[in-house]
Amino acid sequence: MRAVVPDRRDPGRPEHAVTVSSDVEVAAYTRRQLARTASFDVDPMTGRCTFSRVEVEAGPSLSESAARLRERICGRLGRSLHVRQVDAGSCNGCELEIAATTNPLYDLERFGIHLVASPRHADVLLVTGPVTRNMEIALRRTYEAAPEPRVVVAVGACGSSGGIFGEGTYAAVGGVDRVLPVDVYIPGCPPRPQAILNGLLVAMGVREARVEPLRG
């Protein structure tokens, strides 16, 4: 989601209205890629900024990716993809969105992806929340219990960077990458179910991580 702050001096201009993007393809391989950038020009007389519009080619739909994902999973694993969700200190907002991926609307299992109870059966660790001091050791042990090759996906703003809880505080270590090597980041507070599905597709190499510049 993205918001553009309106210009108080000219509220009638549509390009200065608050806009919200519904794009969900926001997963990235590194934290640096999560930063949105844009080129812009500043009018020296008025001080008004004009952002350049950048069109990004749309990727395949989730439905189109399903067959490729099943083929990739079978080719790499010979079975379904097993995901273990780990709450390292979340407010449970991300958990609600992850739970929504299993409902009939999003239907996570149509991709051959199953949530499992034990990290010993997991191919992917889906980690939410800032890593609290009390969960740091437990998270490391969960990672060590997962068989190779294991993939770590950091979910949400807190999982990606520590969020509003910060990093290195008395209660929180910070983002997941402060404790474990992270393969894919899914930003959002919380990320929508479609964004979580897209992040798993990126983690399996079915979709490319798209870093979309800020649009005007």
pLDDT 10s digits, 42-80: 777 777 777 665 554 555 565 666 666 666 666 665 567
Residue 155 has a pLDDT of 96
Q: Is residue 74 part of a domain?
A: yes
Give 30-52 pLDDT, tens digit per residue: 666 666 655 667 777 777 777 66
Q: Is residue 87 part of a domain?
A: yes
- Which pTM value belongs to this model? 0.71
Residue 136 has a pLDDT of 96
Structural domain span for residue 143: 62-203
**Joined tokens for residue 105:** 């609307």
Q: Report the pLDDT averaged over residues 8-35.
A: 57
Q: Is residue 78 part of a domain?
A: yes
Q: Is residue 210 part of a domain?
A: no
Structural domains counted in the chain: 1
**CATH number of the CATH domain containing 184:** 3.40.50.12280
Is 134 strand, coil or helix? helix
Q: Is residue 197 part of a domain?
A: yes
Nearest to 27 by CA among 159, 216, 172: 159
